[in-house]
Amino acid sequence: MRFPVRAITLDLDDTLWPFAPIGARVERVLHEWLLRHCPNTARCFPVEAMRELRQRLHLERPDLAHDLSELRRLTLVRAMELAGDDPALADVAFEAFHVERNRVEFYPDALPALQRLAARVPLAAVSNGNADLARIGIDRHFAFQLGAREHGAAKPAASIFHAACAQLALAPHEVLHVGDHVEMDVLGAHRAGLRCCWLNRDGQAWPHAQPRPDLEFTTLAELADWLDAAHTTPDTVAA
C-alpha cells in the first residue's frame, strides 16, 4: 500500500529500543543509590516493595496517570517519609533514576533507519514514557518531542495525536504514526485519524479483525525501505 506521508510521529520505548532491560536496570540502580544515601528507605523498600508502593500510588492518583515521572518522584517521597529519611532527597534520587533511564541500547536497525526516515520527512516523538531525546543524543533527528506529561494526556487519547499534528501544521491523515503497541499506538492513532504503522518486532498475529494497521513491519528498516519506494521526494508520492 502506498499513500501520502508528510510527517511521521514515532513511539520510543519498544520501538527504537527495548524497554524491559531498562526497567530492570533502573530499579536496581535506584535501589543501590538508596542504599548509599537513604539506607532506611532501602531497607524498608527493596525493589519489589518499592514497585508495589508505586503501583498503590498509581491507584491513589489517577490524575497523574499520564505523568510517570511525577509518580516515580512521589513514590520516592512517600517511601522516604515512611522510612524516616529526608524526603527532600527524592529529587536527587529521581535524577539518579532519570540518568539511568536514558541509557538505552537501540535495536540494531533503529539508528540507521531513523536517519533515513528523518532525511525524508519531519519526525516527531510521541510517547507516554519519560525518555529524553536530548540526553539520549538523538534529538537532532526530530522536529520535536511530545510527551504525555507535557501534553496532559497519554496515548491512546486522540488529543495527543492531534496536538502533534497541529505542531507539525498538518492534517491527521497526512501523518503516519509508528509504534509497537496495538492499543496505545495503532488503534489510538487510527481513531485520531492518522495513518498507522504497527512495528511488530516479535511477528505476532494482529489481534483484531478490524481495523487493521495501514502498514505492518518487523523493523524500522523495512519502514524506511517503504518510504524510499513510496516517495521520490518528501512531497512526491509514487502512483
pLDDT tens digits, 118-174: 999 999 999 999 999 999 999 999 999 999 999 999 999 999 999 999 999 999 999
DSSP secondary structure letters along 141-176: G-SEEEEHHHHTS-TT-HHHHHHHHHHHT--GGGEE
In the DSSP assignment, the letter for residue 45 is S
Please indicate, yes or no, whether residues 167 and 135 belong to a single structural domain of this protein: yes
pLDDT of residue 238: 36
- Are residues 140 and 215 part of one domain? yes
Q: How many CA atoms lie within 13 A of 230 on its CB side?
A: 18
Give Cα separations from 135 to 99, 115, 130, 139, 203 (angstroms). 8, 18, 11, 8, 31
Domain shared by 52 and 162, yes or no = no
- Counting residues of the chain whose pLDDT is more than 70, the rounded percentage is 97
pLDDT at 232: 59
d(CA 119, CA 233): 10
- The answer to whether residue 199 sits within a structural domain is yes
Whether residue 78 is contained in a domain is answered as yes
Same domain, 13 and 74: no
What pLDDT is stored for residue 236 in this prediction? 43
Mean pLDDT of 68-89: 97
* CB of 155 closer than 8 Å to CB of 164: no
- Whether 1 maps to a domain, the answer reads no
Q: Are residue 112 and residue 210 in the same domain, yes or no?
A: yes
Joined together, the cell numbers standing for residue 65 give 496517570
Please state the rounded mean pLDDT for residues 20-40. Answer: 96
Grid cell of 25 as nine digits? 536496570
153 & 131 share domain: yes
Question: Which of the listed residues 72, 101, 130 is the one where a domain comes to its end?
Answer: 101
Mean pLDDT over 209-227 rounds to 96
Check residue 234 and give its pLDDT: 47
Quote the crossing angle between the two packed helices 20-37 and 90-101, to the nearest 10°. 150
Q: Are residues 232 and 140 in the same domain?
A: yes
Q: Residues 6 or more apart from 26 whose CB is under 8 A from it?
A: 97, 100, 101
Q: Are residues 72 and 110 in the same domain?
A: no
| Tens of pLDDT, residues 81-117 | 999 999 999 999 999 999 999 999 999 999 999 999 9
- Which candidate, 50, 11, 2, places its Cα nearest to that of 131? 11
Q: For residue 2, is it within any domain? A: no
Look at residue 67 in the predicted model and tell me its pLDDT: 95
**Total count of domains within the chain:** 2
Domain boundary among 101, 117, 151: 101
Q: Binning pLDDT at 50, 70 and 90, where does residue 69 land?
A: very high
* 233 and 130 within one domain: yes
Beta bridge partners of 79: none
Domain harbouring 96, CATH code: 1.20.120.1600
**Residue 37 domain boundaries:** 20-101
Amino acid letter at 10?
L
* Model pTM score: 0.91
Which pLDDT does position 235 carry in this prediction?
A: 46
Average pLDDT taken over every residue of the chain: 95
Same domain, 148 and 127: yes
Question: Whole-angstrom Cα distance, residue 102 to residue 134?
Answer: 9
Same domain, 71 and 115: no
**Domain termination site, one of 47, 67, 101:** 101
